[in-house]
Amino acid sequence: AAGEASGAVHSGATSQDVIDSALACTLRDTAALLRGRIEVLQGRLASLREAHGARPLMGRTRMQAALPITVAHRLDAWRLPLGDHLDRLDHGLPRVARLQLGGPVGTRRELGGQGDTMARHLAQALGLDPAPQWQARRDGVAEFAGFLSLVTGTLGKMGQDVCLMAQQAPREISLSGGGGSSAMAHKQNPVMAELLVTLARFNAGQLAVLHQALVHEQERSGAAWQLEWMVLPQMAMATGRALVSATALCDAVEEIGAPGD
Protein backbone atom coordinates (compact mmCIF):
# COMPACT_ATOMS: atom_id res chain seq x y z
CA ALA A 1 0.00 0.00 0.00
CA ALA A 2 2.96 2.32 0.59
CA GLY A 3 4.41 1.83 -2.89
CA GLU A 4 8.10 2.69 -3.15
CA ALA A 5 8.16 3.63 0.54
CA SER A 6 6.96 0.18 1.64
CA GLY A 7 10.44 -0.82 2.77
CA ALA A 8 10.56 2.06 5.24
CA VAL A 9 7.08 1.65 6.68
CA HIS A 10 7.23 0.01 10.12
CA SER A 11 10.99 -0.23 9.85
CA GLY A 12 11.78 -0.90 13.50
CA ALA A 13 8.47 0.55 14.69
CA THR A 14 4.94 -0.82 15.06
CA SER A 15 1.33 0.23 14.66
CA GLN A 16 1.15 0.71 18.42
CA ASP A 17 4.00 3.21 18.27
CA VAL A 18 1.99 5.28 15.81
CA ILE A 19 -1.37 4.95 17.56
CA ASP A 20 -0.06 5.56 21.08
CA SER A 21 1.94 8.60 19.96
CA ALA A 22 -1.21 9.94 18.32
CA LEU A 23 -3.07 9.26 21.57
CA ALA A 24 -0.45 11.22 23.51
CA CYS A 25 -0.87 14.20 21.16
CA THR A 26 -4.64 13.95 21.45
CA LEU A 27 -4.62 13.81 25.25
CA ARG A 28 -2.25 16.78 25.40
CA ASP A 29 -4.58 18.82 23.21
CA THR A 30 -7.65 17.57 25.08
CA ALA A 31 -6.07 18.68 28.34
CA ALA A 32 -5.58 22.19 26.95
CA LEU A 33 -9.22 22.33 25.86
CA LEU A 34 -10.50 21.11 29.22
CA ARG A 35 -8.23 23.53 31.08
CA GLY A 36 -9.78 26.42 29.20
CA ARG A 37 -13.30 25.25 29.99
CA ILE A 38 -12.49 24.73 33.66
CA GLU A 39 -11.10 28.25 33.88
CA VAL A 40 -14.24 29.67 32.25
CA LEU A 41 -16.40 27.80 34.75
CA GLN A 42 -14.28 29.07 37.63
CA GLY A 43 -14.98 32.59 36.44
CA ARG A 44 -18.73 32.01 36.22
CA LEU A 45 -18.86 30.56 39.72
CA ALA A 46 -16.79 33.46 41.05
CA SER A 47 -19.28 35.87 39.49
CA LEU A 48 -22.19 34.06 41.14
CA ARG A 49 -20.36 34.23 44.44
CA GLU A 50 -19.83 37.96 44.08
CA ALA A 51 -23.47 38.58 43.15
CA HIS A 52 -25.22 36.25 45.59
CA GLY A 53 -22.61 35.00 48.05
CA ALA A 54 -23.75 37.02 51.06
CA ARG A 55 -27.32 35.71 50.92
CA PRO A 56 -28.43 33.22 53.58
CA LEU A 57 -29.08 29.57 52.81
CA MET A 58 -30.03 26.65 54.99
CA GLY A 59 -27.17 24.21 55.35
CA ARG A 60 -28.26 20.61 55.01
CA THR A 61 -26.58 17.43 56.19
CA ARG A 62 -27.91 14.07 55.05
CA MET A 63 -30.54 16.12 53.20
CA GLN A 64 -31.98 17.43 56.47
CA ALA A 65 -32.01 21.08 57.57
CA ALA A 66 -28.96 21.65 59.76
CA LEU A 67 -27.61 25.18 60.41
CA PRO A 68 -27.65 28.41 58.39
CA ILE A 69 -24.83 29.05 55.92
CA THR A 70 -24.31 31.54 53.10
CA VAL A 71 -24.62 31.00 49.38
CA ALA A 72 -20.85 31.57 49.16
CA HIS A 73 -20.28 28.53 51.35
CA ARG A 74 -22.31 26.33 48.99
CA LEU A 75 -20.67 27.80 45.89
CA ASP A 76 -17.18 27.22 47.28
CA ALA A 77 -17.91 23.50 47.45
CA TRP A 78 -18.49 23.63 43.70
CA ARG A 79 -15.71 26.06 42.78
CA LEU A 80 -12.66 25.20 44.88
CA PRO A 81 -12.21 21.60 43.66
CA LEU A 82 -11.80 22.95 40.13
CA GLY A 83 -8.51 24.55 41.14
CA ASP A 84 -7.38 21.24 42.62
CA HIS A 85 -8.23 19.51 39.34
CA LEU A 86 -6.09 21.99 37.42
CA ASP A 87 -3.20 21.21 39.77
CA ARG A 88 -3.75 17.51 39.16
CA LEU A 89 -3.75 18.12 35.42
CA ASP A 90 -0.44 20.00 35.58
CA HIS A 91 1.07 17.22 37.67
CA GLY A 92 -0.23 14.31 35.62
CA LEU A 93 -0.03 15.57 32.04
CA PRO A 94 3.70 14.79 31.66
CA ARG A 95 2.84 11.13 32.21
CA VAL A 96 0.57 11.01 29.16
CA ALA A 97 2.20 13.52 26.79
CA ARG A 98 4.93 10.96 26.05
CA LEU A 99 6.20 9.66 22.75
CA GLN A 100 5.67 5.97 22.12
CA LEU A 101 8.54 4.43 20.17
CA GLY A 102 9.42 0.97 21.36
CA GLY A 103 9.38 -1.28 18.35
CA PRO A 104 8.14 -4.88 18.40
CA VAL A 105 8.91 -5.63 22.07
CA GLY A 106 9.72 -2.17 23.42
CA THR A 107 13.53 -2.36 23.21
CA ARG A 108 14.13 -0.09 20.17
CA ARG A 109 16.79 -2.58 19.02
CA GLU A 110 15.31 -2.79 15.55
CA LEU A 111 16.11 0.88 14.93
CA GLY A 112 19.75 0.21 14.13
CA GLY A 113 21.18 1.48 17.39
CA GLN A 114 19.66 4.90 16.79
CA GLY A 115 16.41 4.32 18.69
CA ASP A 116 17.00 6.84 21.46
CA THR A 117 18.23 9.47 19.01
CA MET A 118 15.24 8.92 16.76
CA ALA A 119 12.93 9.13 19.76
CA ARG A 120 14.39 12.48 20.79
CA HIS A 121 13.98 13.96 17.32
CA LEU A 122 10.47 12.58 16.85
CA ALA A 123 9.37 13.73 20.30
CA GLN A 124 10.67 17.22 19.59
CA ALA A 125 8.76 17.33 16.30
CA LEU A 126 5.53 16.22 18.00
CA GLY A 127 5.93 18.29 21.16
CA LEU A 128 6.07 15.21 23.38
CA ASP A 129 8.40 13.91 26.06
CA PRO A 130 10.98 11.41 24.68
CA ALA A 131 10.24 8.99 27.51
CA PRO A 132 10.99 5.27 27.58
CA GLN A 133 8.37 3.16 25.81
CA TRP A 134 5.13 2.55 27.69
CA GLN A 135 3.32 0.07 25.45
CA ALA A 136 2.52 -2.24 28.38
CA ARG A 137 2.58 0.46 31.10
CA ARG A 138 -0.78 2.21 30.97
CA ASP A 139 -0.84 3.94 34.34
CA GLY A 140 -0.57 7.37 32.71
CA VAL A 141 -3.66 6.72 30.62
CA ALA A 142 -5.55 5.46 33.66
CA GLU A 143 -4.45 8.52 35.65
CA PHE A 144 -5.80 10.83 32.96
CA ALA A 145 -9.08 8.93 32.96
CA GLY A 146 -9.17 9.40 36.73
CA PHE A 147 -8.77 13.13 36.23
CA LEU A 148 -11.73 13.12 33.83
CA SER A 149 -13.87 11.28 36.35
CA LEU A 150 -12.87 13.66 39.15
CA VAL A 151 -13.91 16.66 37.07
CA THR A 152 -17.30 15.20 36.18
CA GLY A 153 -17.74 14.04 39.77
CA THR A 154 -17.29 17.61 41.00
CA LEU A 155 -19.77 18.86 38.41
CA GLY A 156 -22.16 16.06 39.34
CA LYS A 157 -22.10 17.26 42.94
CA MET A 158 -22.92 20.75 41.68
CA GLY A 159 -25.76 19.36 39.57
CA GLN A 160 -27.17 17.30 42.41
CA ASP A 161 -27.16 20.32 44.71
CA VAL A 162 -28.94 22.42 42.10
CA CYS A 163 -31.57 19.71 41.59
CA LEU A 164 -32.32 19.69 45.31
CA MET A 165 -32.26 23.49 45.57
CA ALA A 166 -34.70 23.73 42.66
CA GLN A 167 -37.37 21.73 44.46
CA GLN A 168 -40.59 23.66 44.81
CA ALA A 169 -40.56 23.73 48.60
CA PRO A 170 -38.42 25.53 49.46
CA ARG A 171 -37.07 26.68 46.09
CA GLU A 172 -33.59 28.02 46.81
CA ILE A 173 -32.55 28.68 43.21
CA SER A 174 -34.32 30.15 40.18
CA LEU A 175 -33.19 29.14 36.69
CA SER A 176 -34.07 30.71 33.36
CA GLY A 177 -34.93 28.84 30.19
CA GLY A 178 -35.83 25.22 29.42
CA GLY A 179 -37.05 22.52 31.74
CA GLY A 180 -40.78 22.93 31.17
CA SER A 181 -43.16 19.99 31.23
CA SER A 182 -45.62 19.43 28.37
CA ALA A 183 -48.00 17.63 30.73
CA MET A 184 -47.56 19.71 33.90
CA ALA A 185 -47.25 23.41 33.17
CA HIS A 186 -46.37 24.29 36.76
CA LYS A 187 -43.07 22.39 36.60
CA GLN A 188 -39.60 23.70 35.78
CA ASN A 189 -37.35 20.67 35.55
CA PRO A 190 -33.61 21.27 36.23
CA VAL A 191 -32.56 19.34 33.13
CA MET A 192 -29.09 20.87 32.82
CA ALA A 193 -28.31 20.00 36.43
CA GLU A 194 -29.62 16.49 35.88
CA LEU A 195 -27.29 16.09 32.91
CA LEU A 196 -24.31 16.84 35.16
CA VAL A 197 -25.36 14.04 37.49
CA THR A 198 -25.79 11.65 34.56
CA LEU A 199 -22.35 12.42 33.12
CA ALA A 200 -20.70 12.06 36.53
CA ARG A 201 -22.19 8.62 36.99
CA PHE A 202 -21.28 7.63 33.45
CA ASN A 203 -17.62 8.53 33.88
CA ALA A 204 -17.45 6.86 37.29
CA GLY A 205 -18.60 3.62 35.71
CA GLN A 206 -16.32 3.96 32.70
CA LEU A 207 -13.31 4.54 34.95
CA ALA A 208 -13.68 1.04 36.36
CA VAL A 209 -13.61 -0.34 32.81
CA LEU A 210 -10.55 1.73 31.94
CA HIS A 211 -8.74 0.35 34.98
CA GLN A 212 -9.28 -3.12 33.52
CA ALA A 213 -7.09 -1.97 30.65
CA LEU A 214 -4.16 -1.58 33.05
CA VAL A 215 -3.75 -5.35 32.94
CA HIS A 216 -1.53 -5.77 29.87
CA GLU A 217 0.01 -9.18 29.48
CA GLN A 218 3.77 -9.30 29.01
CA GLU A 219 5.16 -6.85 26.40
CA ARG A 220 1.97 -6.06 24.48
CA SER A 221 -1.75 -6.66 24.79
CA GLY A 222 -4.27 -6.49 22.01
CA ALA A 223 -7.38 -6.92 24.14
CA ALA A 224 -6.51 -4.45 26.92
CA TRP A 225 -5.15 -1.90 24.47
CA GLN A 226 -8.30 -1.92 22.36
CA LEU A 227 -10.44 -1.55 25.48
CA GLU A 228 -8.93 1.91 25.97
CA TRP A 229 -10.19 2.95 22.53
CA MET A 230 -13.75 2.11 23.52
CA VAL A 231 -13.70 3.96 26.85
CA LEU A 232 -11.30 6.91 26.90
CA PRO A 233 -12.85 8.95 24.05
CA GLN A 234 -16.29 8.61 25.61
CA MET A 235 -14.98 9.82 28.97
CA ALA A 236 -13.25 12.81 27.39
CA MET A 237 -16.39 13.79 25.48
CA ALA A 238 -18.52 13.43 28.60
CA THR A 239 -16.14 15.69 30.52
CA GLY A 240 -16.12 18.33 27.82
CA ARG A 241 -19.90 18.28 27.61
CA ALA A 242 -20.24 18.48 31.40
CA LEU A 243 -18.04 21.58 31.57
CA VAL A 244 -20.05 23.33 28.86
CA SER A 245 -23.30 22.39 30.58
CA ALA A 246 -22.09 23.52 33.99
CA THR A 247 -21.15 26.90 32.55
CA ALA A 248 -24.57 27.19 30.89
CA LEU A 249 -26.18 26.28 34.20
CA CYS A 250 -24.34 29.12 35.93
CA ASP A 251 -25.51 31.51 33.23
CA ALA A 252 -29.10 30.37 33.82
CA VAL A 253 -29.09 31.27 37.52
CA GLU A 254 -31.41 34.21 38.16
CA GLU A 255 -31.52 34.02 41.93
CA ILE A 256 -29.95 31.84 44.57
CA GLY A 257 -30.48 31.79 48.31
CA ALA A 258 -33.18 31.22 50.91
CA PRO A 259 -36.66 32.30 49.72
CA GLY A 260 -37.77 35.68 51.01
CA ASP A 261 -34.28 36.90 51.97
In a domain, residue 141? The reply is: yes
Domain interval for residue 212: 11-256
Q: How many CB atoms lie within 10 A of CB 221?
A: 17
Q: Answer with the residue of higher pLDDT: 102 or 186.
A: 102
pLDDT of residue 180: 52
Look at the pTM and tell me if it is higher than 0.85: yes
Q: How many domains does the chain have?
A: 1
Determine the average pLDDT of the residues in 131-147.
95
Q: Which residues contact 253 (CB under 8 A, 6 or more apart)?
A: 48, 52, 173, 174, 175, 176
Is residue 114 assigned to a domain? Answer: yes
CA distances from 257 to 66, 158, 245 (A): 15, 15, 21
The enclosing domain of 185 has a CATH number of: 1.20.200.10
Percent helix / strand / coil, the chain, rounded to 5? 60, 10, 30
User: Quick check: is 102 in a domain?
Assistant: yes
Reported as a single tens digit per residue, the pLDDT across 22-71 is 999 999 999 999 999 999 999 999 999 999 999 999 999 999 989 999 99
Q: Average pLDDT, whole number, for the chain?
A: 92
CA gap 119, 123 in Å, rounded = 6
Let me know if residue 261 belongs to a domain: no
User: Does residue 3 belong to any structural domain of this protein?
Assistant: no
Whole-number Cα distances in Å, 23 to 3, 98, 146, 148, 251 = 27, 9, 16, 16, 34
Distance CA(138)–CA(95), nearest Å, equals 10
In whole angstroms, give the CA distance from residue 25 to residue 127.
8
Within-domain flag for 6: no
pLDDT the model gives residue 76:
98
Residue 75 lies in a domain: yes
Do the domain assignments include residue 4? Answer: no
For the stretch 76-110, pLDDT in tens is 999 999 999 999 999 999 999 999 999 889 888 88
With bands split at pLDDT 50, 70 and 90, how would you rate the model's confidence at 260? low
Q: Which residues touch 59 (CB under 8 Å, ≥6 apart)?
A: 65, 66, 67, 68, 69, 73
